[in-house]
Every structure is written in structure tokens, then in C-alpha cells.
Structure 1
Amino acid sequence: MTNEKSEQRWERTVTLSDAGTRLDKFWGRELAGEGVSRGRVKGWIESGLALVDGEVTTKGNLKLARGQVAVIRAAAPEADPLGPASPPEPVSGDIEAVYEDEHMLVIVKPAGLTVHPAPSEPGPTLVNLLIHQWPDIAAENSGMDPQRPGIVHRLDKDTSGLMAVARTESARLALSASFAGHETFKVYLALVHGRPELAEGVIDAPMGRHPTHKTLMAVLPKGGREARSDYRVLWTGPRGLASLAAVRIHTGRTHQIRVHMAHIGHPLIGDAAYGPRENAEWSRRPDRLAGLAPRQMLHAFYLSVPHPVTGEPVTRWLAPPEDFRALLAGLTRECLRVGIVGMPGGGKSALLKALRDMGRPCFSADECVAGLYGPGGDGAAMIRQRFGGNYTLDDGSVDKRALFAAMCASEGMRREVMDMIHPMVRHQCEAFFQAHRDEPVAYAEVPLLLEGGWHKTGAVDLVAGVRCPEAKRTGELRELRRLPPEVLAVFDSWQWPEADKLAACDLVVDNDRGLAELADGARRLDQAALTAWERRNREAADRMDALWPELAAELDAVRNPA
């Protein structure tokens, strides 16, 4: 992080990874992001503007040692050995100011805009747009640094949000001192992968240059500079896919939030530099979320700085931009997961077929088990491994008759088989729901869903039960399936009674007539599910809209405790 004073001065403590590095190469690398060339660094060193442990050195080839304090100052423009760099030209644009007076601005920096010119980013930059919109900020009018007039702190190119800008040299000095003295209050919104184990916490982890990737920062066990961030999880998406966190930084290290959140195992969504594995997995998602993170999802939400003249706090907050809110909405708007249950032979499969005929994505646990038990199926392999060839046919599939007989004869055997097969079914059902995330509703018929506790662990959002008269279920429907009464009785004994099942359901479809009436029930079920999906989305959007002013009010209270 740059220690910027009025004369443009930088200071670093040499880390173990930098030991043995030449002084000119060290500063050339450190200042590359500041728009300073290697040639300019070399000229400053030869002009006596570099110190190592307080001693002036003019030798660029000096090898640095771990723990040394290196300082370098920028030459005054007229004394710069390469001459003054060309000042940035005004470029028309539309930068919004949420606070403005003759001394300072608080502006909205859009994502994708670099703050000031650099060799790798000649422009247009925020500075180019600022001096066009507010010409008094330009160096020839304000007397400020020609390359970075008004800039007292920075946001990464792909970070959106609030920035303070000075309009005079005296305001710049005062604001720079406030940032250097930690007199400012800054809170960011970050969308991160997963759900942090702790809902809130302090990350006190010193940072410095990455030991092998010099363009990146890292948490360092030794030799890093103090870096502290507080975070609080505001919201976690369905199934813990992602979380929205408010992060307050007490220090202003380069990439601090990105590094710290990755350090605790939850890098920012869209951050390929500090979450490469997670970012690669995200980009391969089969749903539309893959295209909703074009940048690291970080937004400077809340900023409070002492006014450079009055000292009174200038405080503003800013709701996140459209791309940030689009990802939040996308995380919320996943398919409504509906589980279908009922007594054996009661019409669950017929209801599922009616929903499938309507074009809805449907999953059948019975079909899944058939695949698992078939030749080459994972379930067949596990049963063969556990029980030898006792329940395996010549083609490698499961001998279902023999296995069923053994399960009927031994409750322990039944539970053991269930404990092997049910996790496989649940895994495939989860993959099914993920593959159909962009649909409004998806259905899964799982006979033992309630018995397995799926409704209590978030595997489904709603449970629909099929109610069928006992005489019909044990009579004509049983005969259609060619199911012996004693086999149906065994299946019944492995499940909850119908009254208990239906009492645990959110919706009930009656199967007391024919297939046409059951198809009507499927349409009513689907309409109810769509209504629930729309209501959930509407409530989620309302919660997010209310979150921003509520969070700002909470931060106001933290900043000004009673």
C-alpha cells in the first residue's frame, strides 16, 4: 500500500521473499501500479531520493536484506531526470457526485474504470473524466499532482462504489492525512463463494507481496504489514451457494478484502486472481449464474470522512450497481424444488408423468434406483463389494428379488442397504435440481423423502402429497401394478402412515377418481408451485431493497454510538 504524503513518498519493509532483490528492481515492481516506470525509479535513486534503513543510497544494484526499511520519494517535476510525464487529458463522461462543495467531492466510481493513468492503463481513467467534469481539479488550476489530481485513495478497477476526491491541494493534504491516520470509516459489500463458518468475525492477518506472484498480494506469516478487516454475513443464498457480506476495513492494504476473504476460504465471486479454483468452477456452471459475475463482486457501499476544512463527517452510502444486484437476484431466483410423496401404489408416478407431460422437469427416485442397480451402476458395485455375489446377477446388476427377500427377513439388512443407496439417490436428485436451476419449478418423486428428513434439511422447498383412498390403492391400483398384497404391506411398513405423511405436506393432490382428474390436480399443483415461486422472488427482492437503508442506519449507529 502506498504511504502517500504531500511530497509523494513510499515506504516498504523488505520481506523474506524480497531478500536479495536489487533496489531498482524492487521499486520498479512496487511502483508499476502507480504508473511509475523503471527508468523513472532509476533516476530517482541516482538523484539521492532513495533510503535504506534511513541511509541515502544512489546505487540501484544494491541488494536488499530481509527486515530493511526502504523509502523512495518522487522527484519534483522540474527535477525529474526523465522530465514531467504528460498530464492526463480531459475526457467527457458522466461521473455522479453524491456530495459536492468547493473543497471536495464524493463520487460514484463505476466498475471497470481505472482510477488514474498508468503504463498498463493509459486511459481514459477516472482522473480523465474528473478533470473534464470539474476542471478546477486539474493540476494547472489546483496545484496538485499532475498525474493524480484529487486522488486521496483508490478502488480497484473492477470495484464499484464511493470515493472521496479533493478539489484543492490543501483539501488533498487534509484528506490524505485522514486516510493515513485511519480517521475514515469504510464498509464494502462483497459477494463471496459459500457460507462462512462464523456469521461475523475479525480477520487480523498481515499482508505483503505474494512470495512467488509479485503482482498479487498475500497474507504473510512473517514480514507482512498490519491488515485488519471486520466482516458480517448479511445473507446466504439457497443451499449455501454464496453469501453477501459487509466488510469494514481498518487498514487500506492493496486488495485487502479480496485477500482476506480468500484467506478464510471464501473468495469473492468473479475474482480469478484470488479464487482461481472457485472462479473456474463458477464459469463452468450449466445455469445462467455463470454469466452474472463479470468482475470481482465488490462494492464500496459506505464512506465517512472528515471534511478537509470543517472536520465534520461527510457520510454517504450507495446501493450496489445493476450487475451486483442482478447476481443477487439470480442467486435467489433458483427453481422451486417440490418433493412428491405418498403411500406405495397411491399414484405418485402417475402424477409425475402428468407434470412431465406439461413440460416440467421431473426426477423419479424409482428410476434412479433402477439405474443404480443396473449393470455398471454404482449401487450394484457397492452391493457386490459389501455382500459378495449373493445379490448380483451375471451381468453385474442387482438381483432385486433376492435382495428384497433378504431385506424383508432382516431389519438390519434393510437399513444397511438403505444407508448405502439413499445418499446416492439424494446426490443424483441434487444434481437434477442444479441442472434445472433456471426453471421456475422442478419436481422430484421420492417415496422416502419424509422418512429421510429431506424436508428438514433444505433439500426441497415444498412437499406435495398424493392422497388416495385405501380401497383404491390396495385394490385396482395394486392390481394394475401386479403387486401382491403381501409385498404392498411390506412397502407400507417401511413408510410413515398416510395421515402422518399428509400432515407434513405443504400441498395435497387427491387421486380418488381417474387419470383425467389427476392431470387436473397436477395443473393445480403446478399453479400453486408457480405462485409460491413468484411470492418467494418478490419477498426476496423486497428484502434486498430494504437491506441497503437498514444497513446504512446500522453503520451510522456504529460510527456514532450513543
Structure 2
Amino acid sequence: MDNKNTGRWERTVSAQDIGTRLDKFWARELAETGVSRGKVKSWIESGLATVNGEVVDKGKYKLAGFDTLEIGELQSSGEDTAEAIPGDLKIVYEDDNIVVVDKAAGVTTHPAPGEPDATLVNYLLHSYPDMASAESGMDGQRPGIVHRLDKDTSGLIVVARNEAGRLRLSADFAERSVDKVYLAVVHGRPKKAEGGIDAPIGRHPTRKTRMAVVEKGGREARSDYRVLWTGPRGLASLVAVRIHTGRTHQIRVHMAHIGHPLVGDATYGSQEDAVWKRRDDKLAQLGPRQMLHAFHISFTHPQTKERLTFWQTPPEDILSLLQGLYRECLRVGIVGMPGSGKSTVVNSLRKQAHPTFSADESVAKLYEAGGDGADMIAQRFGNQFSHEDGSVDKAKLFSAMCDSENLRREVMDMVHPMVRHECELFFRAHRDTSVAYAEVPLLLEGGWHKTGQVDVVAGVRCPEEMRTGDLRRQRGLSREMLAVFDSWQWPEQDKLAACDMVVENSGSLEDLEQETRRLHEWATARFTERNAEFAKWLDELWPRLAQEFAGEGDKA
């Protein structure tokens, strides 16, 4: 006898089935109902199968003649039936058999002990009364639920509206014919742009509320990931993860297992999450929950047998995090020939309250007594280029660098990495501003524009007669010394040709201040354009990914 209202099946063993294994018997009996062999095994092992009223949890149990058998999910009593509660539901698709919902983060899938808040099931029962146990024959606490999303995971979830649909969908999930792809924002950037993770998952050996990759006793768990984008400085990456099994916390556990836990996941990335929340910039407030979104799902309709595919743009918190990662300050490098007026440009920008960095000032601090540069030069050359207080004798060192190209290169190789590091710290400290400027005389020669230390380069152009005349004398440089400095740099024509914009210094100080305002307006416009281009790229990314994933799912 089959009882739709209880969700259980009953049989009496005939003579021909004497000696048959319990699991094989029920797999045969329920084959046409859509209940899979895996589901039968799960029910038996969960104590949902009885023989003559006694629970039997071993599939290999041999049947005897005229045994009375029952199997199936036990229905909750009336007081344990989930309550219909009004709530916001974002319905992606619905018909008489199924509902596809874009679940919001913070909503639990179904009622459970210790979960007092209204769940997705409560909201569904309010919108779809026909799903209630009394009418549908489904479980009173979890009607229609065939798969789950963690409370703080957003995205697509498929729900059945009747028992027949639930059984067919459950069988499809058990047989892994449902294609699911998630989007996650993870700490750092995986070394491999894409890869597979085949690592069994079970209960954590010491923390029973957590899952973990385990050597023994775990269940098969397979995931494939692909890096879609990495933010500036490699702080975090957007990855797509296709899961081939549906283990609890699978993506969170697997990504942490390869060293890249999800941003906002305090359970499986506790150290990374703590560091993230201590940041001194706006990113610390982004990523309030595990950044995981069920983006794409493809499955066979339980009634029509049509293949249905759905996708859903990530919610605002994930979009805000991605845009926040990208919205670093525009890092502008300032270059120019010696004596062209770079320092004056930097001072003008400072007067306008824009953050600035000067390599010359950085070197001056490094050369002070106790500075890293002074200590390193003393270690390498002894007291040859040091004052009594330990500071660098810059005149003596400069003279030696003029006499020896090898010594000059050696000193540059020691000092330049320190300046680069100081500049990186400067940009990091001002990442939340629109634009930050760094004046670095040998920026182009050092390849900073090619290796990502700056985003754009502005060059200061000054007429030769001004640079070698009044401006040279104002700086106290001899023609010979200026010529030496020139010889260490690219020719002006090559330097300016490599720049993204040019600041003209051919008039008065007032004219140059106006040019620096033009520089900032240009840089601000570039910052705005760059962010708009990224926002457009994101908007275009989601439908493109959905098309790709649908094609990949068809091939799988």
C-alpha cells in the first residue's frame, strides 16, 4: 500500500522475495516512483525502514516470508508542521510543480532546532498553501526541499510543490544530473587559474559543528573551480565553482583546503577573516558574510522532462565587494628630466590637499642616521660614505657614483627596492582616495609602469633653456652635475613619449599651478572612467558566464 499523505510505502513480502536483501527489494519496488537507489539506502541507514514494526538500518537484511515492510520519510505531527509566515520571496520561476527562488543571504532554508527565525519554507507555505503537508503529502517541516543553501549563502534554490515532483527531483540530485555553479569571492588568488578538487569531506575530528577534508571516513566530494577575476594587489578573487557532489559546506571547505577561504567566512577562514576585519580601509566593512552565491542551475523538469536553466546576478553585497576591491586610488607616477620642475608640481598638488609621495624625500629619510639605507650602505662599505652620526655622506657617495658605474648600480640596487616598498605603503594608505601621486625620477627606467607599481604616468616638460638655466641655479646644481643626472636617465623625448599625459612647465609658477589642476582633473576623470568600465564589465560578465555554464553543463 502507498500512502501519499504520509509519504511512506508499505509492502508484505511474498514467497518469491524470501531471502532478498531489504535495500534491493525497496529499490525494485520504488523504481517507478522516482525514488533512487541512493534514496532507499539513505532512508534505511537513517532508520526510516521497518520490518514488522521494528526499525532495520542495514540494507543487507534478508527478508522472511510474510514480513510487513514500511519505508519512507516520517511526517511531522501537526504541532511540528512549519507555519506559513509572510516574507519576501524573489521568485525566478513557478508552475504547478516547482518553484525556483533566488534566496537572500541570512535566510535559512528550512526550520531546524536552534533556528528561531522564519525560514524559506515558512515564506513558501504562505505564498503556496498547496505545499502544506496535509495537501501535498510532503514532510511538514521541509515540504518540497530537495537541496539546501547555507543560511548566509545567496542564490538559486529549486523547490517542489508536490510529492511526486519532490521524489523525481531528489532522485536527479542523488544521481548528479543537476548542474550547479556557484560564484565565490575568495582571499588571494589561486596559483592555478582553474583546477579540480577531489577531497572527501566529513565531520571535523575535534570541532563537530564543522566539516573538514578528512583522510578516513569522509564522503566523496568533487568541485571544479575557475578564477574569473583578481582584484588589485591580489587581495581577493572572483571564482566560479561547479560542484559534482553536494556535501555540507563543500565549497567553503574545498576552497579553504587549497588555501583560499571565502571572504567573510569566519568558520573556515578564521585567520584571514580576522586580518580582513582589522584592515584600515573601507574593505574592512565589505564582505559581511561568506561571499558565496548559487549563480546557475540546470535540471530536468519533474513533470514535462524539459531541461530548465536559470541564473541570477549576485546580490548587492557581493557586487559592492567586487567594486570596492577594484576601486583603488588611481596611482599616478610623475617623471621628468632633472630640473624640470617635478618637485614644484608635487608641492602644488600638496597645497591642493592631494596625497603625494616623493622618492627624493624617501631617499633622504633612508640616508638619515638610523635609516635602513644608511645602515645598509655602512654594512656594505663600512664608514667610507658615512658621517660620524651614521647618516650617509651624500656628497661623498655621489662623487663615488659618478666615478664608478658599478658602484652606482650597486647603490641603486640597494636603495630602489626600499623606495619601491615605501611607495607601495603610501599607495596602500591612500587606497580609498580617488587619486594619489608619486614623484619617482627613475620610474620609467626602473620599469614601474610595466610591472604595475603605477597605473598611469605624467611627465613634466620644461624648455631646455629654463631647465639648464634658472631652474638649475635655483636648485644649486652645476652644469656638470646636471649633465651627470641626465646621463642616468632616458632622453627627454623617450621619457615623455612613454607618459600618458604631459604637464607643461614653460611659464610662471601660477601657470604651473594651473597645469597641476589640469593634471588632477585628468586623473580624476581617468579614475571615474576606469570604475565605470569595470562596472560595465561586471554587468556584461553575468549573462556571458550563464551562457558558458549552460554550454558546459550540456557537455557534462
TM-score by length of 1: 0.86
1:291-333 Cα deviation digits (max 9, x unpaired): 1110111100011111112221121110111111111111222
Q: Which of 71, 74, 77 pairs up with 1:76?
A: 74
* Residue of structure 2 in register with 1:498 after alignment: 492
* Residue of structure 1 in register with 2:30 after alignment: none
CA RMSD of aligned residues (A): 2.4
* Residue of structure 1 in register with 2:43 after alignment: 9
In the alignment, the residues of structure 2 paired with residue 8 and residue 227 of structure 1 have an alpha-carbon distance, to the nearest angstrom, of: 17
Correspondence 1:97 to 2:91: yes
1:268-310 Cα deviation digits (max 9, x unpaired): 1111112222212211222111111101111000111111122
What SS does the corresponding residue of 2:512 show, helix, strand or coil? helix
Report the CA distance shift for 1:404/1:176 in structure 2 as closer, same or farther (over 3 A). same
- Report matched runs for 1:418-429 at 5 Å: 418-429=412-423
In the alignment, the residues of structure 2 paired with residue 157 and residue 7 of structure 1 have an alpha-carbon distance, to the nearest angstrom, of: 27
What SS does the corresponding residue of 2:423 show, helix, strand or coil? helix
What SS does the corresponding residue of 1:455 show, helix, strand or coil? coil
Report the CA distance shift for 1:342/1:410 in structure 2 as closer, same or farther (over 3 A). same
Query: Which residue identity lines up with residue 149 of structure 1 in the other structure?
Result: P
Post-superposition shift, 1:426?
0.9
Question: Is the CA contact (8 Å cut-off) linking 2:198 and 2:221 kept in structure 1?
Answer: yes
Question: Is the CA contact (8 Å cut-off) linking 2:374 and 2:390 kept in structure 1?
Answer: yes
* Residue of structure 2 in register with 1:165 after alignment: 159
What SS does the corresponding residue of 1:302 show, helix, strand or coil? strand
In the alignment, the residues of structure 2 paired with residue 55 and residue 405 of structure 1 have an alpha-carbon distance, to the nearest angstrom, of: 94
Question: Is the CA contact (8 Å cut-off) linking 2:41 and 2:59 kept in structure 1?
Answer: no
Query: Which residue identity lines up with residue 403 of structure 2 in the other structure?
Result: A
Report the CA distance shift for 1:49/1:360 in structure 2 as closer, same or farther (over 3 A). farther
Post-superposition shift, 1:163?
0.1
Q: Which runs of 5+ in 1 are unaligned?
A: 12-26, 28-40, 57-72
Q: Which of 239, 243, 268 pairs up with 2:237?
A: 243
Correspondence 1:534 to 2:532: no
Correspondence 1:547 to 2:545: no
Question: Is the CA contact (8 Å cut-off) linking 1:6 and 1:173 kept in structure 2?
Answer: no
- Report matched runs for 1:219-258 at 5 Å: 219-258=213-252
In the alignment, the residues of structure 2 paired with residue 447 and residue 460 of structure 1 have an alpha-carbon distance, to the nearest angstrom, of: 13
What SS does the corresponding residue of 2:334 show, helix, strand or coil? strand
In the alignment, the residues of structure 2 paired with residue 158 and residue 110 of structure 1 have an alpha-carbon distance, to the nearest angstrom, of: 8
Structure of larger gyration radius: 2
Query: Which residue identity lines up with residue 85 of structure 2 in the other structure?
Result: V
Q: Which moved more, 1:440-449 or 1:121-130?
A: 121-130
Post-superposition shift, 1:509?
0.7
Correspondence 1:456 to 2:456: no
Report the CA distance shift for 1:173/1:347 in structure 2 as closer, same or farther (over 3 A). same
Report the CA distance shift for 1:401/1:106 in structure 2 as closer, same or farther (over 3 A). same
Question: Is the CA contact (8 Å cut-off) linking 1:190 and 1:268 kept in structure 2?
Answer: yes
* Residue of structure 2 in register with 1:513 after alignment: 507
* Residue of structure 1 in register with 2:110 after alignment: 116
Query: Which residue identity lines up with residue 331 of structure 1 in the other structure?
Result: L
Question: Is the CA contact (8 Å cut-off) linking 1:5 and 1:173 kept in structure 2?
Answer: no
1:164-188 Cα deviation digits (max 9, x unpaired): 0011111111111110100100011
* Residue of structure 2 in register with 1:430 after alignment: 424
Q: Which of 266, 273, 276 pairs up with 2:270?
A: 276
Query: Which residue identity lines up with residue 210 of structure 2 in the other structure?
Result: L
In the alignment, the residues of structure 1 paired with residue 126 and residue 111 of structure 2 have an alpha-carbon distance, to the nearest angstrom, of: 15
1:46-73 Cα deviation digits (max 9, x unpaired): x9647479689xxxxxxxxxxxxxxxx9
Post-superposition shift, 1:392?
2.6
In the alignment, the residues of structure 2 paired with residue 482 and residue 495 of structure 1 have an alpha-carbon distance, to the nearest angstrom, of: 20
Question: Is the CA contact (8 Å cut-off) linking 2:298 and 2:550 kept in structure 1?
Answer: no
* Residue of structure 2 in register with 1:30 after alignment: none
Post-superposition shift, 1:85?
6.5
Question: Is the CA contact (8 Å cut-off) linking 1:4 and 1:176 kept in structure 2?
Answer: no
* Residue of structure 2 in register with 1:19 after alignment: none
Post-superposition shift, 1:238?
2.1
In the alignment, the residues of structure 2 paired with residue 143 and residue 189 of structure 1 have an alpha-carbon distance, to the nearest angstrom, of: 35
What SS does the corresponding residue of 1:402 show, helix, strand or coil? helix
Query: Which residue identity lines up with residue 428 of structure 1 in the other structure?
Result: E
Correspondence 1:309 to 2:303: yes
Question: Is the CA contact (8 Å cut-off) linking 1:361 and 1:442 kept in structure 2?
Answer: yes
Question: Is the CA contact (8 Å cut-off) linking 2:335 and 2:442 kept in structure 1?
Answer: yes
What SS does the corresponding residue of 1:195 show, helix, strand or coil? coil
In the alignment, the residues of structure 2 paired with residue 391 and residue 320 of structure 1 have an alpha-carbon distance, to the nearest angstrom, of: 60
In the alignment, the residues of structure 1 paired with residue 482 and residue 54 of structure 2 have an alpha-carbon distance, to the nearest angstrom, of: 93
What SS does the corresponding residue of 1:94 show, helix, strand or coil? coil
In the alignment, the residues of structure 2 paired with residue 350 and residue 48 of structure 1 have an alpha-carbon distance, to the nearest angstrom, of: 91
Question: Is the CA contact (8 Å cut-off) linking 2:75 and 2:139 kept in structure 1?
Answer: no
- Report matched runs for 1:18-97 at 5 Å: 49=55, 51=57, 76=74, 86-97=80-91
In the alignment, the residues of structure 2 paired with residue 199 and residue 160 of structure 1 have an alpha-carbon distance, to the nearest angstrom, of: 24
Correspondence 1:390 to 2:384: yes
* Residue of structure 1 in register with 2:395 after alignment: 401
Q: Which of 131, 138, 152 pairs up with 2:132?
A: 138
Report the CA distance shift for 1:326/1:10 in structure 2 as closer, same or farther (over 3 A). farther
Query: Which residue identity lines up with residue 224 of structure 1 in the other structure?
Result: G
Correspondence 1:288 to 2:288: no
1:442-483 Cα deviation digits (max 9, x unpaired): 110011110110000111111000011122111111111112
- Report matched runs for 1:234-383 at 5 Å: 234-383=228-377
Post-superposition shift, 1:386?
2.3
Query: Which residue identity lines up with residue 86 of structure 2 in the other structure?
Result: S
In the alignment, the residues of structure 1 paired with residue 73 and residue 309 of structure 2 have an alpha-carbon distance, to the nearest angstrom, of: 35
Report the CA distance shift for 1:339/1:193 in structure 2 as closer, same or farther (over 3 A). same
Report the CA distance shift for 1:319/1:139 in structure 2 as closer, same or farther (over 3 A). same
In the alignment, the residues of structure 2 paired with residue 468 and residue 160 of structure 1 have an alpha-carbon distance, to the nearest angstrom, of: 57
Query: Which residue identity lines up with residue 448 of structure 1 in the other structure?
Result: L
Q: Which runs of 5+ in 2 are unaligned?
A: 1-36, 63-70
In the alignment, the residues of structure 2 paired with residue 529 and residue 282 of structure 1 have an alpha-carbon distance, to the nearest angstrom, of: 29
* Residue of structure 1 in register with 2:175 after alignment: 181
What SS does the corresponding residue of 2:157 show, helix, strand or coil? strand
Query: Which residue identity lines up with residue 9 of structure 1 in the other structure?
Result: W
Post-superposition shift, 1:388?
2.4
Query: Which residue identity lines up with residue 213 of structure 1 in the other structure?
Result: R
Query: Which residue identity lines up with residue 76 of structure 1 in the other structure?
Result: L
In the alignment, the residues of structure 2 paired with residue 268 and residue 467 of structure 1 have an alpha-carbon distance, to the nearest angstrom, of: 48
In the alignment, the residues of structure 1 paired with residue 338 and residue 204 of structure 2 have an alpha-carbon distance, to the nearest angstrom, of: 61
- Report matched runs for 1:444-483 at 5 Å: 444-483=438-477
1:483-541 Cα deviation digits (max 9, x unpaired): 22222222111111111110110100111112111111101111111111111111111
Report the CA distance shift for 1:189/1:53 in structure 2 as closer, same or farther (over 3 A). same
1:355-390 Cα deviation digits (max 9, x unpaired): 111111111111111111112222222222222232
Question: Segments of 4+ in structure 1 off by > 4 A?
Answer: 47-56
